[in-house]
Structure 1
Amino acid sequence: MTVFILMVLAAWFFVFLAIRTSHVASGRDSIDEAIAIHKERLASLETQHRNGELDPEDYRQFRDETERALLEDTRKQGEAKQYKPMPWSIAIVILVMVGGASFWLYQSWGASDAVEVRRSFIELASAEQPTEAQLKETLTGYKKLLEDHPEDLEGWFRLANMQMELGQYVDAQPSLERVLTLLRTGQRSAEDEATVLAYLGQSLWAQQQNQAALDRFEEALEFNAQHTLALGFAGRLSYELGNYRDSIDYWSRLKRLAGEQADTRVIDEFINRSQAALAEQGIDYEAATGPEVSVQVSLPTAWEGLPDTAALFVYARPPGGRMPLAVKRLPVNAQQNTIVLTDADAMGGMGGLTGQAEVELTARVSFQGTAERSPGDWVAEPVVVDLAENDSPSVSLQVEQP
């Protein structure tokens, strides 16, 4: 309300100045000054003519121009003298109308809702022990404000974060879905999509929708294969759903990302539980421990115009060879993708990365989604990596249009 009062006072002040200040008087002063200049100019021309400094033709031309300007300014001077200030009664009516219009604009198009939400956040921050009613009122007001700005991606993500932190997972889910939609209709980012998908998985897991949550975590890993939150939850949910092999693979990847210096005893315990569950079924299973290559693939900006049949293929093959050792086929759903190739992606029994000193990495976008290369496909320049020195390298590939 303070902001509104200041705005009205400012409007009244400037309208008052506009009405009561005699802008015509200042205009009259400038006209008077111009008339005086014209008269001085005529006198000067007369003197120059008498002294022979101007020939008769130039004298007549300059004199006629100056006299025309003098007559015009004299006419304007007469009109200005007829001006009368606006009566006070009309001025007051105009001031009241400006005040009413200011209030209406403030409520309809102004920032009254934003000011109220800001006030709620300030009160929430200053409270020693915020009540549940305060939290609910603040988030409800913020959500209502965002509904008037449906394209505010950062605002919706901020709201979803607060809802997640407060354990309001049911409310957070539609907020996160809104964020995901905005991400996919704008400038897409694989990292951001992976994060939002992981948060969605977490909200579904909190609502005990385990299969739906696992689907979201696995989708997040398609965008970022090294997303630790998604890997951890995917391992846990796979275990709870009885997919023990998958849980071992997820936790093994998470352990590998943690590095040799990290304390991985909790992860080892999870792996042991899944192995024990498989052992009860008479299955002796170990996660793949061979080489692992992380490939970051960037696509041209025109990727969003690709047909639905398009697919991204990422290959590892012997340097100079044509037969892939490992390959993954993925949907084209982002401009940047992170893909991990392991022996699990081997092409046939003779494939795989194990035993290879070097491999050549490349990527290709097929418009028809077929493994065979076709004219017009988008291809990345191959990159050779050394697996003898490092069995977990990371490479970047830029797919180019032909």
Structure 2
Amino acid sequence: MVGLWTGIALLTLCALGIVLLPLLRARRLQQQEVAEDRDRQNIDIYRERLSELEEEKAQGNLAQPEFDELKLELERSLLQDVGDTEAALRVSKISSMQVITVSVMAVLLVISSLGLYAKLGSAPRLELALERQAQPDPFEGRTPTLEEALSRLEHELEVTPENVEGWYLLATTYMGAGRYDDGIAAFKQVLARLPQDAPQYIGVMGQYAQALYFANGGKMNDAVREQVAATLQRNPGEITALGLLGIDAFEQQRYAEAIDFWSRALAQAEPSAAESLRAGISRAQQELRALGEPVPEVAGIEPAEIRLAVRLAEGLGATLEPDQAVFIFARPVGGRMPLAAVKLKVSDLPLEVVLDDTLAMTPQARLSGVDEVEVGARISLTGTPEPKAGDLFAILSPVSVRGQTQAIDLVIDQVVE
């Protein structure tokens, strides 16, 4: 930044020089012209007076000694008048006022320009870019703490406050850290800067309502209800707002209403949120059963599990060793990464196995996150999960992950080519 301001100062001096130098040059020229005019006038006056004296002498009105004395006085007067700077000084005074006026205007121009640049320019962004260039990794290769990451993000948003994605990230991070009041303030910034016709706007409205709810100790109040109502007015199926209404109804033992709110949210929910909604609906149904009240039926809340009856086709087991690996899995239709998998041995066959979220390979990819899968079983001759020539396998597709009442027969009867 020192280089930036140094450059601005040098350019400002150059601009002032461009304005003032022609003025000063014109001033000197004007002084010179006035002085020359004054000298010419003095010489003309000298010549005129000398001519008059010569005419008086010729007429006999002046004797030679008197003529010589008067001529000498004229010459002395001429020498005094030629080079007289009085007129030039008068011009100098006028020119000084012009210089002062132009200088003041130039300074005001510079000040106003710097003020506008400070308000509308991008000096802060340049400073941030220079910081990033000078230190691309401020944490020097280590994983920053939450407070360090938050501090860095807060600093960047001070410089670039129009960064909507940054404000949203800051808001959700605050919420995850339990800093609900800060989360509320950050969500306000998102809503103030995000266009209301943006697809994400209504979702942020719901998250803002959730922030208000958590900041109030997990209780409904007028502010939360107003924000929930405003959100549902824009989108009656907004998941977060419906979820809050369901929680409030459940806590007040209005279980049927809670089931209704959560069921409406379930119809719009992504897989990651759908499982939590299903769990809430099941819990509310249990409470209604315990009270002996009618229980609303809700489609799609059955547990995500697949029951398989796995066996070898007749005649294929003679060449197999009892301890050879058997991989049983469920994966997305047309996909490769299993959502649930278990490793057994040939000696375990035939058997029934249940695939569910407890057998997930990663928390992010679970059976409950999809509606249909393909299931398979493979006997690995090498003991590795990757298929090799000669392995025996079976595949079924598609298979629903819910609503299954009986085990699906899975017969290993094919050979990997």
Band of TM-score, shorter chain: 0.3 to 0.5
- Whichever of the two has the greater Rg, that structure is 2
Please, what TM-score do these two structures have when normalized by structure 2? 0.39
